[in-house]
Each structure stands twice: as structure tokens, then as C-alpha cells.
A = this chain, B = another copy of it.
Amino acid sequence: MYGYRGKILRVNLTEKTFKVEDLDLELAKKFIGGRGLGEKLFMDEVDPKVDPLSPENKFLVVTGPLTGTPTPTGGRYMVVTKSPLSDTIACSNSGGFWGAELKFAGYDVIIVEGKADNPVYIYIEDDKVEIKDAQHLWGKVVSETTKSLTEECGEKAKVLTIGPAGEKLSKIAAVMNDLYRAAGRSGVGAVMGSKNLKAIVVKGSGKPQIAQEDKLKEVVTKCIKKLKENGVTGQGLPTYGTAVLVNIINENGVFPTNNFQKGVFPEAEEISGETLAEKYLIKKDVCYRCPIGCGRYCKVDDIEGGGPEYETIWAFGADCGVSDLASIIKANFWCNELGLDTISAGTTIAAAMELYQRGYIKEEETEGVPLEFGNSEAVIEWTKRMGYREGIGDKLAEGSYRLAESYGAPDLSMSVKKLELPAYDPRGIQGHGLQYATSNRGGCHVRGYLISPEILGLPEKLDRFSLEGKAQWAKTFQDLTAAIDSLGLCLFTSFALGAQDYADLYNALVGTEFSGEDILTAGERIWNIEKLFNLKAGITKKDDTLPKRLLTEPIPEGPSKGWVHKLEELLPQYYQLRGWDEEGVPKEETLAKLGI
């Protein structure tokens, strides 16, 4: 067995039992691993109509075949479950070291079932598995929990945990690992909370076998060279982190400001990656075997820790009209501690600010911290209230859609399938907007990052306003991304690497003979099973859309002035290219072709 470790750990929290099962290697190869394999296993076992916060939902942690191997960025794991935020299939991806350690311990997958009667954590040390009491950890923030668990389990133990937000079933709660890394989106932290599962701690002493050692060395060397020579992965990201995008996106007039009311934030420079580097950066915070090193570690006053990322800076910054970077870093710090998805947390506050601006939320409800755009104190304080569900923080903890709906104004939630949109206004980036609308987990930028060709010009520069060819670009990026996630690599490698590079890495490791085309086909297969799950869960064509504002209100000023998103023209082309019918349902022949 090469690459994979060949074992699934199944833990039943209701029964407090576990067993180790063999991985079906043929199935694994068909769905690659990680996202694809995890979703396939999940769908084979769970009813798509399951209540996400019930004991019947399952919580999978899945690694890719490249996780924990000597491949660049090969350290990622994914959480697969049904999302309590969007009711879609959820697959949230994280870096750091936890994923590699799970492979060292000998497992490809953990399947968590049922619900413990009291808070517990799972301890894994190679063959030794224990379900341990976590009463003493319940209520603790992420740093305290991690500290307690490394004291209990040893310094080298890797900790995955939820914070108070996950315990309190916030629909925007994240799963955190290695202190500052998050499987952030879709509210997957609440699923752990619903199972009374506080943490999973892992220590491993083995490692995956390599089919062709010399060949792998050669391919890795080639890939690292490409990553180093690429402007984004070799210069932009290592130097300024993901926040290198702040100025670039703002200059294109697609940097959503005040809950997408505008596309230009005049104070962008003050919250840029350059300013972050100048004023607050302490070091890079790198993941397992990453030659890019985009992670930041910053300090403001007596607060320090990982991040903030570009999306976080935008969500708490421009989207809330806030230009004080120190406050954004503090809000990010609290998201890490409470275990909140920074994109959903920041944008939910932005939605609350517009609800306040338009008189839906009354001043008395804000209890001394007005939800005014530009109020830098508010982004810190409301993050805490959201995490602890204090006052109307209780409503914010449900995410922007349910918040806005509760005030009778659901259109003020800038979300797709109830998942909050990230930091790019699709009105000025048409392909990216199509991707938002069709993403199987909702408003997400990492299911097909069309910013790469439409803004950054990689692998080639497209006209961002044109619709031509965009459906095909969206499909290709979505399929390739599904494959990269499934391999266990970081999406950022795709700025420099192509399908053939991924095939070369996989082949040398596992001993297969996949072509680049095979990798893309596997990605398409994964995309289609996700779609099938969603359809069965009741997520249909009506949900493949964008917030009304983005379809009807032109961007009021700046380099993208006058544009709305033209989804109506793009969506039918996309469905057709995918081999889906007019309702967005995969045709028999499409599924047959993909072997589903």
C-alpha cells in the first residue's frame, strides 16, 4: 500500500466504541482521497435529508493520499459532513500539521458517529485509541484547550478542537487545528459540538510508503521549482501573505465595501498586506512541508497569533467599513479563540451593520456597541458576542442569512445557499460569479478560484467582464480544485502547477499511471456526486443563484462601475457543459460516463 495507509478508524460516540476497517483501495483511487473519498463514504452511509445537528449526521476527517508525504504542501485534511449552515454537503479543508500526523498514526479516514452523553475527546496514538472525558475542557477557548491537551498528551501531540462557538452550535463555527488553522466554512464546528466532541488529539510514529522514491524526488523538485519561479507562489504570497490581494482587488473595483454596497474601499492601503508586514508581522507561520509559506503571525499590543488572512482582513475591514488594522487583527484573534469562521463572522457583522443602517436592528439591541459601518470596536466586540451568543450575538451566531431573515430582510445577506460570500464582488468578475452561484457548498472562493485567470492572469489573462468561455473555465477550475483537495495538497499550488503535475506526484507516490486528464475526470466525478447529494437534500436550481443585489444593482463607482452579474446568461451554458439538464440535474449518460 503506497500513499494511503489503508485504514479507516470508525468511532461511535453513543456507544463509546471504535473499530478499525480496511480502506477499499479501488474506491479510494476512483475518488482520489480527501474530499472525494470522504464524500463518497459519507453519502454511502448518511441520508441527505438528515438533520445536520442530529446524532444521525456523521463527521468525517479525511486525509489525501499525498497528506503526510514529502510532496510540497502535502499536509492537508478535510472535514466532511452535512452543513448546518447551508444544508449542502460540506467539505472544509485545513493545513497545519494535524493532517500529516493522522497519516503518521496510520489512518486515512476517521468516521465519527452518534453523540456522546457528555463532552469527550478522542485520543489516537498509532494503534491506541481512547475516548476520553472532556468535561474540564468544555467552555475553554482554543488556545487553552490546546495547551491543556498537550499537557495531558505530550508536547508533540497535534490537537484539532472546537471553541465555545462550536459548543454553542453556532452555524458559522469552525474546526480549529494547530492553534491557528481552520477547517473554517459551512459551520462544521457545530457538528462536532452537537456530538459533544470537543477535540481529536493525534500522535503518530509511522509514515506512508512511497511507490517510486527516485521518481517522486524528481517530480517534487520540478514542482518546487515551478512554485518558486511563479510570481504569486514565489513572491507575492511568501512576502505579504494572502493579504497581498487587498490592493490588487481594490484597484479592480471589486473589493466589496459596506456589505457589498460599494466596490472600492478608499482606505484599502491601511489594511493591505504591505501595511500588515510593515506594522504587525512577527513571522511566517508555515504549514507542513510548504515551500510557499503564506501564513502570517502577528502581534498587536499584548495579543499575538496566527493570521489574519486576506479574506479576514476584508470581512472585518472593508466589508464593515473598518480601516483600523489593529482591530481587525484582534477580531481575527477572537475568531481563532472562539472557533469561528472569519469570513462568515466578519460578513455577518457587515450584514448586521446594514440591517442597523436601514433601521431593522434598533440601537437598543446593540447594547452600547452600535453596529455602524466603520466602528472598529464593533468588529471585536460583536465577534465575542457572536461566539458566546450574548444579546443579539445569539442571532448573529446563526449566520447572515438567518439573521437577515429574522428581521424580514433576507436579501441583505450576501450569501449563496446561506454561505457568506468572500472578498470579491462578482459583478466585476463574471466567471468568478458563476462559480459562486454553482459552488456545491454555497458562496465560496475555493471551489474554483477564477480570480486567478480573471484578475491575476494565471494561467492566462481573461477579460473579467466578458462571458465568453467563462462557463468552461468555471467547470475546469471546479474539477481541478476537487482533485487538488482530494489529493491533500493546498489549492495555492495551482497558481504554478497543472493537472499533469498533480498526476505526476500521485503516480510516483501511489504507483499508478494517471494522466492529467484522469485527474480532471476524477475531479468531475467528485463534483457530480456532490451535486447529487445536494439535489437529494433539496438544494436545486433555485439555489444556484446570487444575492439579488449582485444581479440587479450596478456597482456604483470605480473601475467596475455599472456592472451587474449576468448569471442568467451563464448558468444554462454551464449546465449544458456539465452534461446536466435545464434544471441542473446530471443526465444519466453523464453519470454513466463518469462511472457513478
Q: Which residues of A does B touch, CB under 8 Å? A: 70, 97, 100, 143, 147, 155-156, 205, 213, 216-217, 220-221, 224-225, 228, 234-235, 238-239, 274, 277-279, 281-284, 286-291, 293, 301-302, 304
Nearest B residue to A213 via CB reads B278
A-B contact pairs, 12 of them (CB 8 A): A70-B281, A97-B282, A97-B283, A147-B155, A156-B304, A220-B278, A224-B239, A228-B238, A239-B291, A282-B288, A283-B287, A284-B286
Beta-carbon contact of B239 and A235 below 8 Å: no
Beta-carbon contact of A283 and B290 below 8 Å: yes
Beta-carbon contact of A289 and B281 below 8 Å: yes
Minimum C-beta distance from A2 to chain B (A): 15
Beta-carbon contact of B286 and A293 below 8 Å: yes
Neighbour of A289 across the interface among B216, B217, B283, B290, CB < 8 A = B283
A281 and B155 CA atoms in complex are apart in Å by 18
A360 and B306 CA atoms in complex are apart in Å by 55
A282: chain B residues at CB < 8 Å are 97, 100, 288-289
Nearest B residue to A286 via CB reads B284
A290 and B239 CA atoms in complex are apart in Å by 9
Beta-carbon contact of A205 and B302 below 8 Å: yes
18 further A-B contacts with Cβ under 8 Å, apart from A205-B302, A283-B289, A293-B293, are A70-B278, A143-B155, A156-B304, A205-B301, A217-B278, A220-B277, A224-B239, A225-B235, A228-B238, A228-B239, A239-B291, A281-B289, A283-B286, A283-B288, A283-B290, A284-B284, A286-B286, A286-B293
A304: chain B residues at CB < 8 Å are 156
A213: chain B residues at CB < 8 Å are 278
Minimum C-beta distance from A249 to chain B (A): 19
A97: chain B residues at CB < 8 Å are 282-283
A290: chain B residues at CB < 8 Å are 283-284
A281: chain B residues at CB < 8 Å are 70, 289
Minimum C-beta distance from A121 to chain B (A): 21
Q: Report which residue of A155, A283, A301 has the largest number of chain B beta carbons within 10 angstroms of its beta carbon.
A: A283
Minimum C-beta distance from A61 to chain B (A): 20
A70 and B296 CA atoms in complex are apart in Å by 14
A277 and B221 CA atoms in complex are apart in Å by 10
Nearest B residue to A151 via CB reads B151
A509 and B323 CA atoms in complex are apart in Å by 25
Minimum C-beta distance from A243 to chain B (A): 15
A235: chain B residues at CB < 8 Å are 225, 228
Minimum C-beta distance from A211 to chain B (A): 14
A293: chain B residues at CB < 8 Å are 284, 286, 293
A279 and B68 CA atoms in complex are apart in Å by 11
A282 and B284 CA atoms in complex are apart in Å by 16
Minimum C-beta distance from A155 to chain B (A): 7
Minimum C-beta distance from A545 to chain B (A): 42
Minimum C-beta distance from A326 to chain B (A): 13
A121 and B287 CA atoms in complex are apart in Å by 34
A225 and B235 CA atoms in complex are apart in Å by 8
Q: A155-B147, A205-B302 are in contact. Are A228 and B217 (CB under 8 A)?
A: no
Minimum C-beta distance from A148 to chain B (A): 12
Beta-carbon contact of A291 and B70 below 8 Å: no
Minimum C-beta distance from A495 to chain B (A): 15
Neighbour of A70 across the interface among B100, B205, B277, CB < 8 A = B277
Nearest B residue to A231 via CB reads B228
A216: chain B residues at CB < 8 Å are 278
Minimum C-beta distance from A540 to chain B (A): 44
A355 and B488 CA atoms in complex are apart in Å by 51
A277: chain B residues at CB < 8 Å are 70, 220
Q: A274-B217, A277-B70 are in contact. Are A238 and B283 (CB under 8 A)?
A: no
A291: chain B residues at CB < 8 Å are 238-239
Nearest B residue to A96 via CB reads B283
Minimum C-beta distance from A290 to chain B (A): 7
Nearest B residue to A69 via CB reads B278
A278: chain B residues at CB < 8 Å are 70, 213, 216-217, 220
Q: Report which residue of A155, A228, A287 has the largest number of chain B beta carbons within 10 angstroms of its beta carbon.
A: A228
A137 and B69 CA atoms in complex are apart in Å by 38
